[in-house]
Amino acid sequence: MTKTFALFLLTAIAELLGCYLPMLWLNGKGSVWLLLPAAASLLAFVWLLTLHPAASGRVYAAYGAVYIATAIFWLWSVDGVTPRWSDLLGAGLALSGAAVIAMGARA
């Protein structure tokens, strides 16, 4: 379970970075050269998706919850925006839902 969570976390970071760097360039906050690491990050994202336990709806639903929580952390740590209570609650609910899905798969 810990290995799967770590894989989900790495996948989410690769996805966020691959989208964030082009946004910096498009907003005039960075060089066009940011597109190279962005492309590498998105390639890593796609490759990491192939390492997930199974390409099923349950796995991607659980990944989605980790992505939501990672995006809220990114908002705070990279963008410098303090998450609202509703952001934290939403991420917590998503992770709780993912835990239900993961535990149900073991039953």
Instruction: Report how far apart, in Å, the C-alpha atoms of 59 and of each of 17, 49, 52, 55 are.
Output: 21, 10, 8, 7
Task: Look at residues 24, 29, 17, 105 and name the one whose alpha carbon lies nearest to residue 61.
Answer: 105
| Mean pLDDT of all residues in 24-36 | 95
Structure confidence by residue, pLDDT tens digits, 60-107 = 888 889 999 999 999 999 999 999 999 999 999 999 998 888 777 665
Cβ distance 10 to 66 under 8 Å? no
| Closest residue by Cα to residue 32 from 43, 42, 21, 40 | 21
Q: How many domains does the chain have?
A: 1
pTM of structure: 0.82
